[in-house]
Structure 1
Amino acid sequence: MTILMRAVEFSGRASAAGEILRARGARRDRPIAVLTRSSAALAILAIAAATLEAPLFPIDPSLPASIQADLLRQAGDALVVDDDQIVEIQSMIASAAGAPLAYAPPRGPALFIATSGSSGAPKAAILTGANLAASAAASATITPLDPGDRWLATLPLFHIGGFSVLARCAFAGADLVLCDGFDPERTRSILAAERITHVSLTPTMLAQLVAQGPAPRSLRHALVGGASLTAQRAHEAAALGWPVQPTYGMTETSAQIATLPRLPEGWRSGQMGRPLPGVEIGLTADGRLKARGPTIMRGYANPDLEPGDGLRDGWFISNDLAEISASGDLSILGRADDVIVTGGKKVLPSAIEDLLGACPGLGRFTIVGQPDPLWGHIVAIHYDGAIPPRELLDWCRRHVAGAHRPRAAHRIERFPLLANGKVDRIALRRLALRRESQTGAGGKNDPAAGDF
């Protein structure tokens, strides 16, 4: 479903929804937890919560019940709204109308939003209205957004990559186009039919759209982030007119820390340029990126809304390894917990991913370390493309040297992705454990190359 959202069209409904929520116990500073996949409902309730000066807490309803319960525990005394209650609210506000109402979140806690949980249990970060406003203003210095522009939100609003689009459009007076779920053919059609000027994508989404052909003429900005973007994929997209802007950020930083205004010639994976205005960056002793400034979260959620949880002297210390050049340019090397030690040598998956970008028939893929009795770990590929595992390993022998060369390849029937397009590494680990239990030590199947 595709919905063009303008303030004048749904502000009346948001105001009415706010009164209903107030009658059900919503109040200032009490989080309103909303469990729905409907982007339209979340957009309306985001504005409704803002009128009450209550933080919104959008939660992915497809998460396991135990994780939902843990997120709600982190939020303390939250008012919970699920799809059944949303249907009831929508029936009560269907005919409501009113003057335009801009999204005006409270300066204090305005948004509880869960981290992706791609490699562990999600945490809820508390973002203030001041955080969201500072992030939108900083983003606009690199990616200008004006009234009349249209930003397609392809990511769900219960992830920061989706919600930040809503905030940017509201602050700028631009149009927000919401789309529940991502389908490459439908999205390509929406981009052209709705004359979209801005879009946020993951690398996987970009690849699927590029396969549909050149970018529509209206599109001026395509922010690509959330996962490692290979140079091969980026330059192929740029050659077809896609206005690729590599971007990097986290939930804890209100989305972007750094974004390139355009794809430079000779760009390499991980290069992000200077940080956005107001964002200060540095490195820890072990090479992890740290950041502070007006876009950094208030802290992780806790029932008393106490600030500072997860921060150190105002710094948020990420788990991403990075380099900062003498001129201040940022390059992301990969996650610290993704480093593979094979035969005593440290290997970063991002360096391998760039090399594999030229392999035909690979499809979506990720690099992980696979336990090995001789080397400690070996480099392994999980992928969903057409190339058979043994042919893929033969290609790697010819094109990838030394410790970086993958020595195991596993084709996956359905590549596990989270709702925000990131690889679900927990699901990958489960698949790997299942494979090991099926093959075992000395089993008949070749553990170095197979399908599962």
Structure 2
Amino acid sequence: MKINTKNIRSQAYIQDIMRLEERWFSNDPNFFVQTSGSTGQPKTISLQKEHMRNSARATLKFLNIEEGSQALLCLPIDKIGGIMMFVRAAEANLDLTILEPSSKPFDFLEENVNFALSAMVPLQISQSLAQLQRAGKLIAGGGPLSPRLIRQIIENKAQLWHSYGMTETISHIALRQISPVLADAFKVLPGVTISLNAQSCLTISAPAIGVEKLETKDLAQLIGEDEFLWKGRLDNVVLSGGLKLYPEELEQKIDLSENFILAGRDNPILGQELLLIIESEQPLDEQLRMAALARLDRLEKPKEILYLKSFIYTSNGKIKRSETLSQALALRPNKG
């Protein structure tokens, strides 16, 4: 494994990389990682290094990454996404270029440098569209991909897979191909089995990574034995007039360039009503609003649109949905 840090200006970040390297190659069989905090309070959990190695091997096999290839690490190295890129590089003896996290990682690279494997969050992808072919096989994590961003990824001929997983499953356990061929479903990695519990939430078993019947709060629909459609989080479901609305699923029908979420608010008649919250100070004009919501059925359309100058995010860029909703309701910005 080779590590290239020549494009890093911060000596403090280079020291962090050295500490990560020391921790990984130490004799301690355990590795402590902090969860992202997107669905609850951040917490520190202990993972076994052998399980992490097995996870890395599964991804390398799934994506057919050859030993000694070039790889790019531009995610935070204190979270599971960045840590596992490091572990994959160690397992396949990759030539790993590490950058400080930024929204435009290719701005810090020479123009003739290309990679076989990379990982990015949606913000980085949206700011690097013209450079995505240089990323090689690109793993997208840390949040959903909007319909508009998916179209842009395909137009730019990237090789991109959207990941499903969490810190407890040692990053992803399933990947959904976005480009060059757009797949509807996530496909699990080798050694992973899935089922649904009584609430139609995904249950994961993967002995090689130390996961035994982990019941998630992710609503899903199984497609055969090794594929599933992700519908959203159980605790985000909106019950409106007897109808179950799945915000994350409906968000895939909304075409906006701004960040946004759908969420529920109490309603004395309906039980709950659906809200659209947009990260913007300026309300949409009527024409843009109609175009953005055109694919939603009548009963799926939000009852109100709220605008918030800045959403609340975790340290690695995930939207904190409940906190963002609370702030939007408390501030009551311009109504749509």
Q: Where on the TM-score scale, by shorter chain, does this alignment land: which range?
A: 0.7 to 0.9
- 1:277 correspondence with 2:175: no
Q: 1:401 to 1:52 in 2, by over 3 A?
A: closer
Partners of 2:21 and 2:132 in 1: how far apart?
A: 32
SS in 1 for 2:14: helix
Number of aligned residue pairs: 332
Q: 1:421 to 1:195 in 2, by over 3 A?
A: same
Pairs within 5 Å for 1:351-370: 351-357=249-255, 359=256, 362-370=257-265
Q: 1:166 to 1:408 in 2, by over 3 A?
A: same
Offset of 1:195 from its aligned partner?
2.2
- 1:136 correspondence with 2:56: yes
Partners of 1:435 and 1:37 in 2: how far apart?
A: 41
Q: Which residue of 1 aligns with 2:170?
A: 254
Q: Unpaired runs of 5+ in structure 1? A: 11-35, 55-105, 299-313, 437-444
Q: 1:397 to 1:423 in 2, by over 3 A?
A: closer
Q: Which residue of 1 aligns with 2:15?
A: 41
Offset of 1:9 from its aligned partner?
8.8
Q: Which residue of 1 aligns with 2:88?
A: 168
- Which is greater in Rg? 1
Q: Which residue of 1 aligns with 2:310?
A: 414
- Deviation string 1:138-166 (CA, Å, 9 cap, x unpaired) is 00112233344232222212211111001
Q: Percent identity?
A: 23
- Deviation string 1:377-402 (CA, Å, 9 cap, x unpaired) is 22222223586245354445644222
Partners of 2:12 and 2:314 in 1: how far apart?
A: 16
Partners of 2:182 and 2:48 in 1: how far apart?
A: 38
Match for 2:21: what amino acid? I
- 1:196 correspondence with 2:111: no
Pairs within 5 Å for 1:15-30: none
SS in 1 for 2:157: coil
> Aligned to 1:221, which of 120, 127, 137?
137
* Contact 1:378–1:407 (8 Å) recurs in 2: yes
* Contact 1:146–1:173 (8 Å) recurs in 2: no
Q: Which residue of 1 aligns with 2:2?
A: 6
Partners of 2:78 and 2:246 in 1: how far apart?
A: 30
- 1:116 correspondence with 2:36: yes
Partners of 1:416 and 1:407 in 2: how far apart?
A: 22
Q: 1:208 to 1:290 in 2, by over 3 A?
A: same
- Deviation string 1:58-81 (CA, Å, 9 cap, x unpaired) is xxxxxxxxxxxxxxxxxxxxxxxx
* Contact 2:5–2:99 (8 Å) recurs in 1: no
* Contact 1:389–1:409 (8 Å) recurs in 2: no
Partners of 2:51 and 2:267 in 1: how far apart?
A: 45
**Bigger fraction of residues in strand:** 2
SS in 2 for 1:355: coil
* Contact 2:160–2:180 (8 Å) recurs in 1: no
Q: 1:197 to 1:385 in 2, by over 3 A?
A: farther
SS in 1 for 2:253: helix
SS in 1 for 2:299: helix
Q: Which residue of 2 aligns with 1:331?
A: 229
- Deviation string 1:219-245 (CA, Å, 9 cap, x unpaired) is 321111222223442232121122111
Structure 2 length-normalised TM? 0.87
Q: Which residue of 1 aligns with 2:27?
A: 53
Partners of 1:288 and 1:377 in 2: how far apart?
A: 22
* Contact 1:384–1:411 (8 Å) recurs in 2: yes
- 1:125 correspondence with 2:41: no
* Contact 1:134–1:294 (8 Å) recurs in 2: no
SS in 2 for 1:315: strand
- Deviation string 1:278-303 (CA, Å, 9 cap, x unpaired) is 112111111111112235457xxxxx
* Contact 2:222–2:229 (8 Å) recurs in 1: yes
* Contact 1:296–1:316 (8 Å) recurs in 2: no
